[in-house]
């Protein structure tokens, strides 16, 4: 079995090869931004998930490499277009694509990347091609749905926890789940195992996103990549906020709503006020309990996959890595 770190090296080298090819492909203003977007890096979590899952059922991971590249290209396509929509000028300490090039070039390069994700996937072995494309295409559309729900929530005041969980399932979790299942399909794994891996990824993905919400407020600033309280400043509907609105008394709820209805506020003051309310309401502990619930579900499902426990070691390490987020 490969370790996560070995798979990261392996897929990074494959992606680097593609980047080099893309940099030489015309039109330069189409493929240059694609190469740039892909070179911004990150931990290549999604393609590693594809390969790792394949490796559970197959000694070699070659059969899953096209799918792995495909998921990374697709994920970076969503980031590219998200950055336009959010007017996010920076990504991983570099100018985002629309900022480095133009908005039009970013729209079109993103469009190309979403198509290229299919083209990479089409390099997979013929006998597994159809189920892989079906899964990928379904997943890709769900990610768009999740993104739209997220955008809709910005303007809504009545978002329920259930709606929120559905949104993060679509926006974040289905792709992680899909990556694991793609790898399993590439390795000709039994259908039941592939489905269990999908369910494992889904629960892990939701736990991961809830953790992301939590860290935005309660992370150690030194370890956390982003600015603490970013979600509070940007009025984002997070699990923490929705839970606080759900369980608070009328007066506290009104205080929260006042902070979130105005656009003119002192940022540190708002962060402090909302954080204090969260503390008073035990939101940290409640969210941790929620995270743990999904995480334990994931582990439970992992347990059910019909494989020797020893071979699941790296999968569980990956789950740990995703959750601890020691970046």
| Binding positions for a second copy, rule: CB under 8 A | 26-27, 29-30, 81, 84-85, 104-105, 107-108, 110-112, 114-116, 118-119, 122, 126, 129-130, 133-134, 137-138, 140-141, 144-145, 147-149, 151-152
What ranges in the chain are assigned the alpha helix state H? 4-23, 28-39, 45-55, 65-86, 97-100, 103-121, 126-154, 161-168, 174-186, 191-218, 230-233, 239-247, 250-261, 267-280, 283-304, 313-324
Contact of 304 with 258, CB cutoff 8 Å: no
Min. distance of Cβ 10 from a second copy in angstroms? 25
Min. distance of Cβ 63 from a second copy in angstroms? 17
User: Cα dihedral angle (174, 71, 238, 232), rounded to 10 degrees?
Assistant: 180
Min. distance of Cβ 9 from a second copy in angstroms? 29
Between 102 and 292, whose beta carbon lies closer to a second copy? 102
Min. distance of Cβ 239 from a second copy in angstroms? 19
Between 29 and 94, whose beta carbon lies closer to a second copy? 29
> From the CB of residue 299, how many other CB atoms can be counted at a distance below 10 Å?
15
Min. distance of Cβ 26 from a second copy in angstroms? 8
Between 133 and 307, whose beta carbon lies closer to a second copy? 133
Between 16 and 130, whose beta carbon lies closer to a second copy? 130
Instruction: Encode 26-94 in three state secondary structure.
Output: CCHHHHHHHHHHHHCCCCCHHHHHHHHHHHCCCCCCHHHHHHHHHHHHHHHHHHHHHHHHHCCCEECCE
Min. distance of Cβ 70 from a second copy in angstroms? 11
d(CA 300, CA 197) in angstroms, rounded, equals 11
Between 134 and 227, whose beta carbon lies closer to a second copy? 134
d(CA 291, CA 318) in angstroms, rounded, equals 16
Between 150 and 213, whose beta carbon lies closer to a second copy? 150
């Amino acid at each position: 079995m490969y370790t996560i770190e070995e798979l990261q090296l392996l897929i990074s080298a494959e992606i680097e090869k593609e980047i080099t090819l893309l940099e030489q492909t015309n039109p330069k203003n189409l493929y240059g931004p694609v190469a740039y977007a892909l070179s911004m890096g990150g931990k290549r979590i999604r393609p590693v998930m594809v390969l790792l899952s394949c490796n559970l059922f197959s000694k070699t991971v070659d059969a899953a490499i096209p799918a792995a590249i495909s998921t990374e290209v697709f994920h970076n396509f969503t980031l590219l277009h998200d950055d336009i929509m959010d007017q996010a000028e920076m990504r991983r300490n570099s100018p985002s694509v629309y900022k480095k090039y133009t908005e039009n070039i970013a729209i079109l390069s993103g469009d190309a990347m979403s198509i290229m994700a299919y083209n990479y996937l089409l390099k997979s072995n013929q006998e597994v091609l159809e189920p892989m494309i079906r899964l990928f295409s379904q997943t890709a559309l769900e990610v768009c749905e999740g993104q739209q729900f997220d955008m809709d929530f910005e303007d809504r005041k009545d978002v329920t926890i259930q709606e929120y969980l559905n949104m993060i399932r679509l926006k974040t979790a289905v792709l992680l789940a899909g990556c694991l299942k793609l790898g399993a399909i590439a390795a000709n794994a039994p259908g039941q195992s592939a489905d269990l891996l999908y369910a494992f990824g889904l629960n892990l993905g939701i736990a991961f996103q809830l953790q992301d919400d939590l860290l935005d407020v309660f992370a150690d600033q030194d370890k956390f990549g982003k600015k603490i309280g970013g979600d509070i400043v940007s009025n984002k509907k997070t699990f923490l906020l929705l839970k606080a609105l759900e369980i608070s008394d009328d007066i506290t709820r009104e205080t929260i709503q006042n902070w979130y209805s105005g656009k003119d506020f002192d940022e540190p003051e708002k962060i402090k006020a909302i954080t204090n309310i969260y503390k008073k309401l035990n939101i940290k502990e409640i969210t941790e309990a929620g995270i743990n619930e999904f995480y334990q579900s994931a582990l439970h499902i992992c347990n059910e996959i019909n494989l020797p426990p020893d071979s699941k070691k790296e999968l569980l390490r990956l789950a740990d890595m995703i959750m601890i987020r020691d970046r």
